Amino acid sequence: MKLLIVEDQPKTGHYLRQGLAEAGFNTELVADGTTGQHLALTGDYDLLILDVMLPGRDGWQILQAVRNAGLDMPVLFLTARDAVEDRVHGLELGADDYLVKPFAFSELLARVRSLLRRGSSPPQETSLQLADLRMDLIRRRVERDGQRIDLTAKEFSLLELLLRRQGEVLPKSLIASQVWDMNFDSDTNIIEVAIRRLRLKVDDNFPNKLIHTVRGMGYVLEERFS
């Protein structure tokens, strides 16, 4: 997966590239709009991350040029301003997503992955699995090590999300949005409580823990060998 970041603030750009590279993406970084537009049009990228305010050409202009050239890769905007007209403007021009600074990197990563996944139709799985944890999507049953685990509807959705995106750190905001359809900043510790309750059923009786907290970032479902 090849990503282009156009961001003129050196520190932000550097850490974004490092973070995305370590997450397994082939990432390029440019600091000015003119070079950014040139690369975006010629570089065959899977996704663009554009700052709005850039020297040379601004983010909107790059987006316009990209869409005019018939390229339809997803474009994610980063901006320090959160004006409604900005958002409307961006969406009209064909932006796919929008993050307002300050944002958390885990949030950005989750959104990047969502955007990249959007294009390809998800495989029609009938079951999801990690280690000895199995989820039967048709009969809506969960088993671990052969033992049936009873989950509420929301717990089932939560575990399904974690299983589908296993290995990815999912920020709380993304979990709230995907599982409960709550699309607003919330400083409650509901997700914490929900994860704790899910853990109680999925992990507590087994020595090999699968749900992990990544402090300050979110939660991840993965097999860890200590």
Partner 1 sequence: MKRISLASRLALLFAGCTAVVSLLAGVLFNHASEAHFIELDQQLLDGKLIALRSTLQGADTPERFALRETTLREELNRQPDLALRITAGDQRWFDGAPGITLPQAPGLHSVQNAGTDYRVYNVPLVPGNADSPQLTLMLDITHHQHFLQRMQHLIWLTVGLSALATALLGAWAARSGLRPLRRMSEVASGVSAHSLTQRLPQEQMPVELAELAQSFNAMLGRLDDAFQRLSAFSADIAHELRTPLSNLLTQTQVILTQPRALEDYREALHSNLEELQWMAQLVNDMLYLAKADHGLLAPKRETLVLANEVDALLEFFAPLAEDVQVRLIREGGANTSGDRSMLRRAISNLLDNALRFTPPGGDVSVRIVEGMHGVTLSVENTGEGIPEALLPRLFDRFYRADPARHEGSSEHAGLGLAITQSIVRAHGGRIFCESGAGWTRFVMELPRGY
Instruction: Give which of 167, 210, 172 is closest to 191, Cα–Cα.
Output: 172
176 contacts partner 1 (rule: CB under 8 A): yes
**180-219 binders of partner 1 (CB under 8 A):** 180-190, 193-194, 197, 215-217
Residues 206 and 144: their CA atoms lie apart, in Å, by: 9
Cβ 179 to partner 1, closest distance in Å?
A: 9
Nearer to partner 1, 118 or 196 (CB): 196
**104-133 binders of partner 1 (CB under 8 A):** 104
By rule CB under 8 A, what count of residues binds partner 1? Answer: 26
End-to-end CA separation in angstroms for the chain? 30
92 contacts partner 1 (rule: CB under 8 A): no
H or E, element range at 16: helix 10-22
Phi, psi of 106 (to 5 degrees): -60, -35
102 contacts partner 1 (rule: CB under 8 A): yes
Cβ 97 to partner 1, closest distance in Å?
A: 15
- Only one of the segments 57-65, 69-77, 136-144, 175-183 lies at the binding site for partner 1 (rule: CB under 8 A); that segment is 175-183
By three-state DSSP, how is residue 194 classified?
helix
Cβ 214 to partner 1, closest distance in Å?
A: 9
Nearer to partner 1, 86 or 223 (CB): 86
Beta strands 75-79 and 97-100: pairing type? parallel
Strand order in the sheet with 97-100: 26-30, 2-6, 47-51, 75-79, 97-100
Cβ 90 vs Cβ 126: under 8 Å: no
For partner 1, the binding residue among 24, 42, 70, 84 (CB under 8 A) is 84
Q: Which residues bind partner 1 (CB under 8 A)?
A: 82-84, 100, 102-104, 154, 176, 180-190, 193-194, 197, 215-217
